[in-house]
Amino acid sequence: MRTILNIIWLVLSGFWMFLGYMLAGVLLLIPIITIPWAIASFRNGMYALWPFGRTVVDKPGAGVGSFLGNVIWVILAGWWLALGHIMTGIAMMITIIGIPLGIASFKMVPISLMPLGKEIVDIDAVSYTR
């Protein structure tokens, strides 16, 4: 079921959100100081491309530095990407088949706003550690 949802997601919004994250990442590579945000953008882009079967967890040891970095991220690119997830989520919720996809899009809003201090892991790996 995850594969089917991922394929539908890829066609309807995943590819476009992936391109948005990649564009943000490339633009953040230009000034050397924003390379950590570019890496976070690329990581989130891969998650936005194929989200079902993976989840976001807090990274151990993330603290004030991650919070300050996330504040800068929101200003540079986060709010644009979050707006993209909200818009695609609303569009997906129009049909019954799109409701799980819309929910997934809304679940990506927090990581699109605050990617630092988070880690994307397989759902199967999380269930074994709990």
Write out the DSSP string of 40-98. HHHHHHHHHHS-TTEEEEEPTT--HHHHHHHHHHIIIIIHHHHHHHHHHHHHHTTSSTT
pTM of the full structure = 0.84
Share of the chain above pLDDT 70, in %: 96
Q: Is 98:12 a contact under the CB 8 Å cutoff?
A: yes
Closest among 71, 77, 66, 93 to 12, alpha carbons compared: 93
- How many CB atoms are closer than 10 A to CB 80? 13
Q: In which residue ranges of the chain is pLDDT below 50? A: none
User: Domain range spanning residue 13?
Assistant: 2-129
What total of structural domains would you count in the chain? 1
pLDDT in tens, 21-48: 999 999 999 998 889 889 999 999 999 9
